[in-house]
């Protein structure tokens, strides 16, 4: 069975909650485990077909913790060739969420990953470069994150040449 890991940073729980939602969508199709930055099971991640990174938006960017993890730990995980995705949470509608997603996707490309938005031909819910949820009412973004997880898992299966 294909495997996916969701690795997130979260100080007040919003981005962790979003990881739960994404995993619900993936679970319909692939094996999935979620990890906070502090408890990543590196052996599991190395065997994964896809890895999704999640971060709160800090100063219109990703968190320093996630950036440090990407620079120091991610290169040890053999991520080249795996499917990569990214999602964020934010407090303000123009708070810089897409910038944070782009930085994570760019870093994934530097590591040799194939990046996936979860959008395009799938239609609604519309996703452009990755899903974004607001911290005030993260529950309202549940369906968006579940749909993203399902689309990501379908892409993993498609790359593996398997029907789902």
Ligand X SMILES: Cc1cc2nc3c(=O)[nH]c(=O)nc-3n(C[C@H](O)[C@H](O)[C@H](O)COP(=O)(O)O)c2cc1C
Residues that bind ligand X (CB under 6 A): 10-16, 56-60, 89-92, 95-96, 135
Instruction: Find the shortest distance in angstroms from Cβ 83 to ligand X.
Output: 23
Q: Please say which residue, 99 or 164, places its beta carbon nearer to ligand X.
A: 99
Q: Please say which residue, 95 or 149, places its beta carbon nearer to ligand X.
A: 95
Q: Please say which residue, 20 or 73, places its beta carbon nearer to ligand X.
A: 20
Instruction: Find the shortest distance in angstroms from Cβ 4 to ligand X.
Output: 20
Instruction: Find the shortest distance in angstroms from Cβ 7 to ligand X.
Output: 13
Instruction: Find the shortest distance in angstroms from Cβ 91 to ligand X.
Output: 4
Q: Please say which residue, 2 or 130, places its beta carbon nearer to ligand X.
A: 130
Using CB positions, name the residue nearest to ligand X: 95
83 contact partners, CB below 8 Å, separation of at least 6: 49, 50, 51, 113, 114, 115, 116, 152, 155, 156, 159
Instruction: Find the shortest distance in angstroms from Cβ 3 to ligand X.
Output: 24
71 contact partners, CB below 8 Å, separation of at least 6: none
Cα torsion through 35, 45, 53, 134, rounded to 10:
-30
Check: CB of residue 50 under 8 Å from CB of residue 84.
yes
Q: Please say which residue, 2 or 61, places its beta carbon nearer to ligand X.
A: 61
DSSP string of 29-58, one letter each residue: TSEEEEEEGGG--HHHHHT-SEEEEEEE-B
The angle formed by the CA atoms of residues 115, 97 and 105, to the nearest 5 degrees, is 15
């Amino acid at each position: 069975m294909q495997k996916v890991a969701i690795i997130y940073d979260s100080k007040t729980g919003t981005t962790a909650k979003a990881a739960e939602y994404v995993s619900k969508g993936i679970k319909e199709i692939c094996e999935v485990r979620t990890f906070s930055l502090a408890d990543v099971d590196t052996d599991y991640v190395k065997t994964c077909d896809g890895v999704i990174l999640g971060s709160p938006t800090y100063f219109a960017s990703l968190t320093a913790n996630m950036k440090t993890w990407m620079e120091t730990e991610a290169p040890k995980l053999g991520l080249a060739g795996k499917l990569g995705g990214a999602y964020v949470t934010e407090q303000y509608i123009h708070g810089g969420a897409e910038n944070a997603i782009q930085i994570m996707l760019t870093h994934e490309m530097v590591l040799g990953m194939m990046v996936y938005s979860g959008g395009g031909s799938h239609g609604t819910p519309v996703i452009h470069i990755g899903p974004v949820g607001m911290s005030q009412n993260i529950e309202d973004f549940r369906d968006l994150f579940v749909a993203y997880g399902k689309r990501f898992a379908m892409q993993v299966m498609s790359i593996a040449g398997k029907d789902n």
